[in-house]
A and B are shown apart, each in its own frame.
Chain A
Amino acid sequence: MSPRDLLIQDLTMKEAARAASGKRVDLLIIADLVEPGSRVLDVGSGDGELLELLATTRGCDARGIEISRAGVNAGVARGLAIIQGDADIDLADYPDDSFDYVILSQTLQATRRPKWVLEQMLRVGRRVVVSIPNFGFWRMRLDLLLNGRMPSTENLPYSWYDTPNIHFCTIRDFVALVEEVGARIESATALNGYGQKVRLNLPWAVWNLLGEQAVFLLSRGR
């Protein structure tokens, strides 16, 4: 699919980032990666959308950590097990191997210590699922190239001075971090600007261009 095709589709598929079910596509993909009945910790669980999905469709024992008071209170009011806490600090309190999966969905870029957070997740969970927005996405590059301004998109609408996303990276940057912490990539999926999977078995460089976001399943060691 050429960048031109993507632009054409962009005019007609503005809402395509959400699936027919109304769920975020990246959350559906993450839920698919999780074995039914697992113990799952969702770091940065928001109001509990993924937790609810995992509990209802996968029968998981799903817990969350969320930093925003409003998110926690909304999630707990929905009957979900969510703790108000800061991933940058509170992951240290969880024992080794206490979860089958630790999930970080669209949150790594908002942590103060992404590398430490990733290491902690790999310690606490046997497997780790990370989804990241890709700053190497072609439209980001184009935006910066043509406008000379920091890119902002529908998924990342913040201005540079008030964004919570203080540690952006590209898919290739993240792959490098995974190597640095000594983790193994079990699987990876890139999603284009409409939340569709980039299906072709392409090299990282291509995913880095076409993927607006990516979902990784990681495990410890090589």
Chain B
Amino acid sequence: MPDSDNVHVLRPAARPTTGEATSPAQGSQAQGPQTQGSQTQGSQTLGPQPQGQQPTSPASGKATGEPVAGAETRPVGPSRTYEALARAQADFPQSELVHFGADKPLTLDAGVTLSPFQIAYQTYGKLNADKSNAILICHALSGDQHAANVHPVTGKTGWWETLIGPGKPIDTNRFFVIASNVLGGCLGTTGPSSINPKTGFPYGLDLPVVTIRDMVRAQAMLIDHLGIDRLLAVVGGSMGGMQVLQWAVSYPERVFAAMPMAAAARHSAQNIAFHEVGRQAVMADPDWRGGRYLLEGTSPRSGLAVARMAAHITYMSDSSLHRKFGRRLQDRDGRTFSFDADFQVESYLRHQGEAFVDRFDANSYLYVTRAMDYFDLAADYGGVLANAFKDTRTRFCLVSFTSDWLFPTADSRAVVHALNAAGASVSFAEIESDKGHDAFLLDEPELTAITRGFLDSAARAVGVA
């Protein structure tokens, strides 16, 4: 539940000084040799930026891997401190990192190539000898690669620890689980807050607009890099589910089993509309500075917070909001006859907005929502979705939730119909839940059982112990 002294979202918080930045939990643990190397190079790139003013400056302290006092606990201080920590992740993620140089450009749907670029990823479990036990996790709009480990910025547990872990349905004792940050993201994979090597400054809006298919192309290069021919499964919810579907269409021979949850084969007009509201909120913030806020030392915090608040409503259901908050007042006996957050639901949303701004880049929000808007699997197949899945041998399991009005059951059913028409092996279950779209991230016993059953069956078929 949110704190009572909620931050006033529409007023930018004071900027922290560099000295307040502390390393997050795991600060000196997750650094692989690749990461170290990149940081050295990255620090040079950062050279032209004025030290002590750029939010990325804490990275220079972290690059050496020096233990910082208080590294074990979540740092306290103004929100901008977290924001600075998050920004540092864009170029120096506390994750495994793979660079693709000039010899491996990424061709984008926009008709241009991106090179060089990098992908930040986490892995859990061990790849077996015949490399048949790899499962790729695709994250949603506001997610990242920290699916099953403590988040380096927020200090919270991984976003999908309900499903991923030892003995869990995505069993890290059996499977080699890979989770990567999407292209356009802000936690280490190249995105608008990454340094553009041509200029030495963050890309901002100079980064080409990317699509779900571009994200998947980049992931395929990561899977190549890991030496894996075929993934046992690709699993993800919401935008992650879009990526799962795109994987199955783009690389059918590389996906044995696909599990898109709470997803759709195309983004609906209503969902594009919601995204546009969010983007307009960001762009209407004077601190957005035409996307150049990183260069100008500002941050469109209120705009991004409003975008997140609006979006967060769409992730829940009316009944879950009612159950959680009803019309209850926030730590007060009566109405204040002001525009303060009288209601708990207001306070909660403000908290959600504020917390999101601490860890997410505003331009990334524009890019990633745009990628979802552009998603329409059937478009390349004459509008006939079944043709996208022609001759597929991938086995599918789709899941939807009764109270999800953002990606309603009908969207999943449309994919099921197309898969049936293509003669694919497909399971589909609608799970009763009042938790709305976010249900796929929550502890839902039926989701757990279905995920376990589907992946166990796939593992049996492939011969994974």
Using a CB–CB cutoff of 8 Å, the interface residues on chain A facing chain B are 61, 63, 69, 72-73, 76-85, 90, 93-95, 98
B224 within 8 A of A: no
Which of A73, A81, A98 is B426 in contact with, Cβ under 8 Å?
A81
Q: By the criterion CB–CB under 8 Å, are A93 and B453 in contact? A: no
User: Across the interface, which residues of A come within 8 angstroms of B453, CB to CB?
Assistant: 76-80
Q: By the criterion CB–CB under 8 Å, are B395 and A98 in contact? A: no
User: Across the interface, which residues of B come within 8 angstroms of A76, CB to CB?
Assistant: 397, 427, 429, 450, 453-454
Give the contacts of B411-427 with A (CB-CB under 8 A).
413, 416-417, 420-421, 423, 425-427
Q: By the criterion CB–CB under 8 Å, are A81 and B421 in contact? A: no
Q: Which residue of B lies closest to A79 (CB)?
A: B457
Which of B395, B413, B420 is A94 in contact with, Cβ under 8 Å?
B420
User: Across the interface, which residues of B come within 8 angstroms of A81, CB to CB?
Assistant: 395, 425-427
Q: Can you offer 10 A-B residue contacts whose CB atoms are under 8 A?
A: A69-B429, A72-B429, A73-B446, A73-B450, A77-B446, A78-B457, A82-B429, A85-B416, A93-B420, A93-B421
Q: How far is the CA of A82 from the CA of B399 in the complex (A)?
A: 12
Output the least CB separation between B255 and chain A (Å).
16
Output the least CB separation between B235 and chain A (Å).
14
Q: How far is the CA of A94 from the CA of B395 in the complex (A)?
A: 17
User: Across the interface, which residues of B come within 8 angstroms of A82, CB to CB?
Assistant: 427-429
Tell me whether A98 and B428 are in contact in the complex, defined as CB-CB below 8 angstroms, given that A73-B449, A76-B454, A83-B416 are known contacts.
no
Q: By the criterion CB–CB under 8 Å, are B432 and A77 in contact? A: no
B431 within 8 A of A: yes
User: Across the interface, which residues of B come within 8 angstroms of A72, CB to CB?
Assistant: 427-430
Output the least CB separation between B90 and chain A (Å).
39
Q: How far is the CA of A84 from the CA of B431 in the complex (A)?
A: 10
Q: How far is the CA of A79 from the CA of B431 in the complex (A)?
A: 16
User: Across the interface, which residues of A come within 8 angstroms of B426, CB to CB?
Assistant: 63, 81, 83
Q: By the criterion CB–CB under 8 Å, are B452 and A77 in contact? A: yes
B198 within 8 A of A: no
Q: Which residue of B lies closest to A55 (CB)?
A: B457
User: Across the interface, which residues of B come within 8 angstroms of A94, CB to CB?
Assistant: 420-421
B460 within 8 A of A: yes
Q: Which residue of B lies closest to A93 (CB)?
A: B417
Q: By the criterion CB–CB under 8 Å, are B431 and A73 in contact? A: yes
Q: By the criterion CB–CB under 8 Å, are B425 and A73 in contact? A: no
Tell me whether A77 and B450 are in contact in the complex, defined as CB-CB below 8 angstroms, given that A69-B432, A83-B416, A93-B417 are known contacts.
yes
User: Across the interface, which residues of B come within 8 angstroms of A84, CB to CB?
Assistant: 428-430
Q: How far is the CA of A95 from the CA of B395 in the complex (A)?
A: 18
B456 within 8 A of A: yes
Q: Which residue of B lies closest to A99 (CB)?
A: B423
Output the least CB separation between A49 and chain B (Å).
15
User: Across the interface, which residues of B come within 8 angstroms of A85, CB to CB?
Assistant: 413, 416, 428
User: Across the interface, which residues of A come within 8 angstroms of B413, CB to CB?
Assistant: 85
Q: How far is the CA of A194 from the CA of B29 in the complex (A)?
A: 67
Q: How far is the CA of A98 from the CA of B424 in the complex (A)?
A: 10
Output the least CB separation between A41 and chain B (Å).
9
User: Across the interface, which residues of A come within 8 angstroms of B450, CB to CB?
Assistant: 73, 76-77
User: Across the interface, which residues of B come within 8 angstroms of A77, CB to CB?
Assistant: 446, 449-450, 452-453
Q: How far is the CA of A84 from the CA of B450 in the complex (A)?
A: 13
A69-B430, A83-B426 known; 19 other A-B pairs, CB under 8 Å?
A61-B425, A69-B429, A69-B432, A72-B427, A72-B428, A73-B429, A73-B431, A73-B450, A76-B429, A76-B450, A77-B449, A78-B457, A79-B453, A79-B460, A80-B427, A82-B428, A82-B429, A95-B423, A98-B423
User: Across the interface, which residues of A come within 8 angstroms of B427, CB to CB?
Assistant: 72, 76, 80-83
Output the least CB separation between A92 and chain B (Å).
9
Q: Which residue of B lies closest to A74 (CB)?
A: B449
Q: How far is the CA of A94 from the CA of B416 in the complex (A)?
A: 11
Output the least CB separation between B16 and chain A (Å).
49
Give the contacts of B142-188 with A (CB-CB under 8 A).
none
User: Across the interface, which residues of A come within 8 angstroms of B429, CB to CB?
Assistant: 69, 72-73, 76, 82, 84
Q: By the criterion CB–CB under 8 Å, are A79 and B456 in contact? A: yes
